[in-house]
Amino acid sequence: MAAKNGDKVRVHYTGTLNDGTVFDTSREREPIEFAIGTHMVIAGFENAVLGMEPGETKSFTVASAEAYGEHDPRLVQDVPRSELPQELDPQPGMRLTATGSDGREIGLVITEVSEAAIRLDANHPLAGEDLTFEIELVEIAA
């Protein structure tokens, strides 16, 4: 029985970047579970599962535009350190959360720190990256 739109599936995966760096894997935990067609995972991942049968494996690459988009320089800002909470010791790579004008939370990463300011990047950490996945369809739930 092949996976089709609307099926709930369980999938093991390992995701790598072009340089071979593993950015995420389910191999040391439970497989991810999602219903095909509900957009719970990126479209290229969801489309790759279509037509697979339990036990089948596949390797594929999702272009950055079809994954988390291209890196947008407009989402990078320098913020004066005086605008940060005094107890914060900003370090490159540190993740912060801000609240947008619409009330939604925005994930930020500190990319640079100077005495006067910090540089914040609101792009998804995988923006601009082509993503390669090795997947195994573990189960199609009834």
List pLDDT tens digits, range 37-52.
Answer: 998 999 889 999 999 9
Residue that is written with structure tokens 């990463």 in the block: 109
- Once rounded to an integer, what is the mean pLDDT over residues 119-128? 94
CATH code that applies to domain 73-121? 2.40.10.330
pLDDT at 142: 61
Q: Where are the domains of the chain?
A: 8-68+126-141, 73-121
| d(C-alpha 9, C-alpha 67), whole Å | 20
Overall CATH class of domain 8-68+126-141: alpha beta
Dihedrals phi, psi of 82, to nearest 5 degrees: -65, -20
pLDDT at 100: 81
pLDDT at 113: 95
